[in-house]
A = this chain, B = another copy of it.
Amino acid sequence: MSSQYQAPLNDMQFQLFDVWQVQQHWQQVPALAEQLEPETAQAILQEAAKICEQQIAPQSQLADQTGVSLDQGEVSTPEHYKACYQAWCEGGWAGFSGDPEYGGMGMPKVLSMMLDEMMCSADIAFSLYPGLTAGACVTLQQYASDEVKALYLPKLYSGEWSATMCLTESHAGSDLGLMRTKAEPQTDGSYRISGSKIFITAGEHDLTDNIIHLVLAKLPDAPAGSRGISLFIVPKFLPDAGGKPGQRNALHCGSVEHKMGIHASATCVMNFDGAVGYLLGEPHKGLAAMFTMMNYERLAMGSQGLGAAERAGQNALAYANDRLQGRITERDANKAEPIIRHPDVQRMLYTIQSLNEAGRSFSTWVALQLDKAKYSGDVKGQQFANLLTPIAKAFMTDLGLECTVQAQQVFGGHGYIKEWGMEQLVRDVRIAQIYEGTNGIQAADFMLRKVAADNGAVLFSLFTDIGNWLDPSIQWHPQLATYVERTRTLTASLLNRSQQDKAVLAEFAYDFMTLTGYLLYGYVWLKQIDALQHADLPNEVKQQKQQLAAFYFKKILPRAETLLHIMQD
């Protein structure tokens, strides 16, 4: 009766190689062409799927029941997490996208995104331990000196050590400019960090020998506000001359939070009492460095929404096929039929699956833009990735809640009972709309910094690309083309209205981001339909995709009607 999971490997391969043809990009990048072919990638995903399906997912409900506990500053994670973490690290997954120069595998984002999705289907709480480390590594790769990289990255890539990001303070929340944590320069070039941070994921735990905190703090001469924040490396144990964990640093976990979900993720209050830290990057430029990590995490948040929704949808589908209740075609009062034959149950299942397969396609597309920027220096790729990141974070997690709630609803009363595991998916995924910048903050980021800041230039260029690609012979083409045009007009009108009334952008930010999300999900559905023509897939899979696309265009995309109506004035 517990919640099952099988990685959607076939759909992942379809998205990678048929829809987005990532192999074309790989062939242009020597570092990738050497080690990656579609067959290799498939084998990689299969291996990762095994751990997720067989080891992590079957114990996620146990993790939820057990949670974490704090005793004299030490945090205990569920007992089975040790074996899961070890298996993850032994498989080499911890350093999967890391810099090969320091022991990473150098794998592209299109693949690591799929690992993220599988991990989040298996157990969001568990995924956060390696997830935070991967994010911190991105910042270290970009901002640390060679010496610092050589000291930390191999240990982080192997999973021997883990990492955190310490931003939030209790009085300040997302308003980082209000930060009070102080960094005092020492004569040896190090700093003493003092202050208290809250909501620190994996701030303390028992899975690794050392924990490397990336801490935002203010230097004594810092300008006021967010332009005066610096970033520091603050290890739990200071590495000794041999690079091993040495002296215990003056920091400790003051408490762990009791939360709605992700019970087995340690959400810590971290107190720094003159802890030794090392400046990372330039003084006062810590926020930019931290945002490197935040942006990485934000994409991964989308995978949390998708991962939870995928597992929820799989279980709802299985339940709807198994559960006998009611009569649709059957007339015998003693015979019941599977509830999947009820049109309203189909509505819920189609909603979930059409959103999930669009979400997988969308996140592959965004990841490909990031890969193009990273491996090929593609400016447009970077621009599109910047534009799409807040949508990946907010829109995908909003839909993650919607889909897990719908899947829970398919179960009726059983959906509310812990034993079936569906309610946990709802509780676990809910956090993804909140952390790493609330979805409201994402919407403001999208509207103000990603659209209005360049007067819509990148968004319009994306619309133009979509318009140029759109093949009128594909079914549903006219629906999407019309919405894109209406949204283009609306965007111009909003930008124009904002000249007189700046508040108009903030007022409509959420609706505008959501509207764009539905349009882009429509685009990736057309991409999928187009790819079906040449894909080597069984006919029933192709028919299923066609049905899901039809559902999306008939029942989901019209959500744009309301959003357009609200914003048109």
Contacts and interface: CB of A to CB of B under 8 A. Distances in A.
Contact of A333 (B226, B423, B443): B226
Given A326-B175, A334-B225, A507-B343, A260 B412 contact: no
Contacts of A177: 333-334
A503 interface: yes
Contact of A413 (B419, B435, B558): B435
Contacts of A174: 325-326, 412
B430 A333 contact: no
A260 B418 contact: yes
Question: Which 8 residue pairs across A and B have the least CB separation, nearest first?
Answer: A225-B333, A260-B423, A343-B506, A344-B440, A224-B333, A175-B325, A561-B561, A558-B565
A509 interface: yes
25 contacts: A168-B413, A173-B412, A175-B326, A178-B334, A198-B413, A224-B334, A225-B333, A257-B419, A258-B417, A258-B418, A259-B417, A260-B418, A260-B426, A342-B440, A344-B440, A347-B507, A348-B440, A409-B433, A409-B440, A412-B434, A416-B431, A416-B434, A427-B427, A558-B562, A562-B562
A345 interface: yes
A438 interface: yes
A178 B325 contact: yes
A175 B336 contact: yes
A558 B554 contact: no
A431 B426 CA distance: 13
A542 B343 CA distance: 44
A555 interface: yes
A344 B413 contact: no
A392 interface: no
A451 interface: no
Nearest to A199: B413
Interface string A327-356: 000001110100000111101100000000
A566 interface: yes
Nearest to A401: B405
Contact of A178 (B336, B343, B562): B336
A370 interface: no
A413 B510 contact: no
A168 B414 CA distance: 12
Contacts of A29: none
Nearest to A440: B344
Interface in A344-379: 344-345, 347-348
A318 interface: no
Contacts of A562: 558-562
B416 A260 contact: yes
A305 interface: no
Interface in A173-198: 173-175, 177-178, 198
A313 interface: no
Interface residues of A, number: 72
B409 A258 contact: no
Interface in A469-516: 503, 506-507, 509-510
Nearest to A261: B416
Contacts of A412: 173-174, 434, 438
Contacts of A207: none
A257 to B, nearest CB: 5
Nearest to A334: B224
A274 to B, nearest CB: 24
Nearest to A430: B416
A443 B558 contact: no
A3 interface: no
A426 B404 CA distance: 14
A381 interface: no
Contacts of A561: 561-562, 565
Nearest to A224: B333
A444 interface: yes
Interface string A517-560: 00000000000000000000000000000000000001100111
A342 to B, nearest CB: 7
A560 B559 CA distance: 10
Given A408-B430, A427-B427, 13 more contacts: A171-B324, A173-B412, A174-B326, A175-B326, A178-B336, A198-B413, A223-B333, A224-B333, A257-B417, A260-B416, A261-B416, A415-B434, A561-B562
A323 interface: yes
Nearest to A447: B344
A271 B21 CA distance: 59
A418 B267 CA distance: 13
Contact of A343 (B326, B408, B433, B503): B503
Contact of A409 (B198, B325, B439, B507): B439
A172 interface: yes
